[in-house]
Amino acid sequence: MRTITYRQAINEALAEELERDPNVVIMGEEVAEYNGAYKVTEGLLDRFGDKRVVDTPISEAGFIGMGVGASMLGVRPVMELMFWSFAYVAFDQMINNAGCVRYMSGGLIHCPIVVRGPANGGTNVGATHSHTPENFIANTPGLKVVCPATAADAKGLMKSAIRDNDPVYVMENTLLYGEMGEVPDGDHTVPLGVAEVKREGSDVSLIAHGRAVITALKAADVLAGEHGIQAEVVDLRSIRPLDEETVLRSVRKTNRAVLVDENKPFCGVSSQIATTIQEKAFDHLDAPIMRVNSLDAPAIYSPPLEEIQLPSPERVIEKVIAVCQ
């Protein structure tokens, strides 16, 4: 397999879907002339022209609303948010309209829109640019949420999201854009709602999504090398639909669970995972479910403090040792 960056993997997915389906369009701030704020859409304007790759005004409420309306008429828009934090001004369009129209129309109107962009802290851009709203979005029936951790998953999930007939909100991570990874050749897709065991283990399940998967894998390496603890790492990949069976299978195998999540702890994604485990695999647990989240405060601007705020391998290791003792 080829080794490319997470950024290149998404770019390939977008280019292949633009080529495959004339109804696919890319829209967002600086996606065309500037090649994307993070260069994810680099080269697409030159290749596909300004009718398929469209710069928009700085108005998320406006251009997301335009994309939602276009998707109801058969277009497949892929909307880039410079930060997912900026989605909040378009929640009426994204949740009330996109999330409810198929139900409200009795299944007559579909809304095959993709909204994508970075949703993460750790880049020293302050509290208003560092939200991780996957839990907010996943709370709405009718919406799908994916959080790829690797280049292969970034490409495969993006292609599946574009082909899906429901709204799919793809939450990437700025800190992953330059990370290298192996990506299969050809028409590589990853189905929505299917988790993956990224590392086999027997002593504890580390369940994570997005960049927290990388944190969990680093912790698992240290646990195996220094503590003799074999941690299994489960990458959710998709928050909604959620692959409960893969999570439960892992916990029934290892009998312990530590949930790693860059969400804040209160009402976060890991809260839902913890509830699922205790409701459906309680008798298999040999220790309490533990969680490692971002510290419960607005994103800290100071880089050294923000680093402490986010989950770290050290914090994961501490929790794992506690549940394995």
Catalytic residue selected from 80, 129, 232, 262: 129
Q: Which of 174, 168, 167 is nearest to 156 (CA)?
A: 168
Amino acid identity of residue 278, one-letter, is: Q
> Residue 89 is encoded by which pair of tokens?
């001004």
The CA–CA distances, whole Å, from 136 to 101, 113, 145, 149, 291 equal 18, 18, 10, 19, 19
DSSP state of 166: S
Determine how β-strand 76-80 pairs with β-strand 24-28: parallel
Q: Can you say whether the dihedral through the CA atoms of 307, 222, 293, 130 is positive or negative? A: positive
Question: Rounded to whole angstroms, how far apart are CA atoms 279 and 275?
Answer: 6
The answer to whether 186 and 159 are in contact (CB under 8 A) is: no
- The string of DSSP letters for 288-302 reads --EEE---SSSPPSS
User: Does the annotation count 29 as an active-site position?
Assistant: no
Determine how β-strand 180-183 pairs with β-strand 2-5: antiparallel
User: Does the annotation count 209 as an active-site position?
Assistant: no
Catalytic residue selected from 29, 60, 134, 232: 60
Query: Residue for token digits 């398929």?
Result: 52
Active site residues: 60, 129
